[in-house]
Chain A
């Protein structure tokens, strides 16, 4: 449908544009054509809904709990830095005393 291609968006094209649409990166005419396509296409409307659900679910993920080993290594790293900083500054300068491990 070449006469049609210049103004209307087909599903294949729409599928490439979902992120640009959701990220608000489509220029106004492109956005209008995309929305016109959605208005007449239940499949692409459903696809958009699924993309939104996906993004929402990814955004709600909680960080993995650190393994005890990873946690210990990081604490050791912090203490190493603190010691390094303390010795660079010299005794009696700046560092709060009593930072126990």
Chain B
């Protein structure tokens, strides 16, 4: 990424504006990701601050092998793991996303999905819907939340997500599937109202 090299140069040169741009872009996601590992909001904030400092101190070692974003989130996950070591919390790989109760014995739907309106994309842009999506992401278990934040919110490639979380592509898809399914389910309950 050409933009990364420039940004790193500006950070190294002491450009506060560049740092603020970066924090505006990633700080929220980093808090959400750290919260997947440590038990409290305060602990998550500490991990994130520590990660920003880690990034700054490591700037001279950043060689551009991965994107700045992947590198930054990698630093975060390392530190979050260390912070959570005492509790030995790790990212569990999830089971099936939809309970068997949604299907009858022959494998077809008990309650088929009720069709969403044609202008659903538009409706989901409304502030109330945005809040609903945010709440649905926050309610996800740690593993699915990490995968959704990196892959769908941050738009990283699945390879990058695997690199940051240190998991296989298969595990990544399992987590993603569970996360996306739950968010869809949460939105289903809202669709009538948005």
Contact = CB atoms under 8 A, between A and B. Distances in A.
Contacts of A15: 97-98, 102-103, 181
Contact of B183 (A12, A58, A82): A58
Interface SS of chain A = helix
B176 A49 contact: no
What class of interface size applies to chain A in its complex with B? 35 or more
A54 B176 contact: no
Interface in A25-71: 25, 43, 46-47, 49-51, 53-64, 66, 70-71
A34 B85 CA distance: 42
What class of interface size applies to chain B in its complex with A? 35 or more
Nearest to A14: B107
Contacts, number: 140
A49 B120 CA distance: 10
B108 interface: yes
A18 B177 contact: yes
Interface in A58-92: 58-64, 66, 70-71, 73-75, 77-82, 85
Interface in B103-147: 103, 106-109, 112-113, 115-116, 120-121, 124-125, 129-130, 133-134, 137
Contacts of A70: 27, 45
A63 B29 contact: yes
Residue from A43, A46, A61, A75 with most neighbouring chain B CB atoms (10 Å)? A61
A46 B153 contact: no
B188 A61 contact: no
A12 B152 contact: no
Contact of A60 (B13, B25, B102, B125): B125
A10 B107 CA distance: 5
Given A19-B177, A61-B133, A78-B52, 5 more contacts: A19-B173, A46-B115, A57-B187, A58-B180, A81-B53
29 contacts: A11-B108, A12-B102, A16-B98, A18-B181, A20-B177, A43-B109, A43-B113, A49-B116, A50-B113, A50-B188, A54-B180, A54-B184, A55-B180, A56-B121, A57-B133, A58-B137, A58-B148, A58-B153, A60-B124, A63-B27, A63-B28, A64-B134, A66-B23, A71-B20, A74-B52, A75-B16, A85-B14, A96-B13, A96-B14
A-B complex: 5 closest residue pairs judged by Cβ atoms: A10-B107, A19-B177, A43-B112, A57-B124, A12-B103
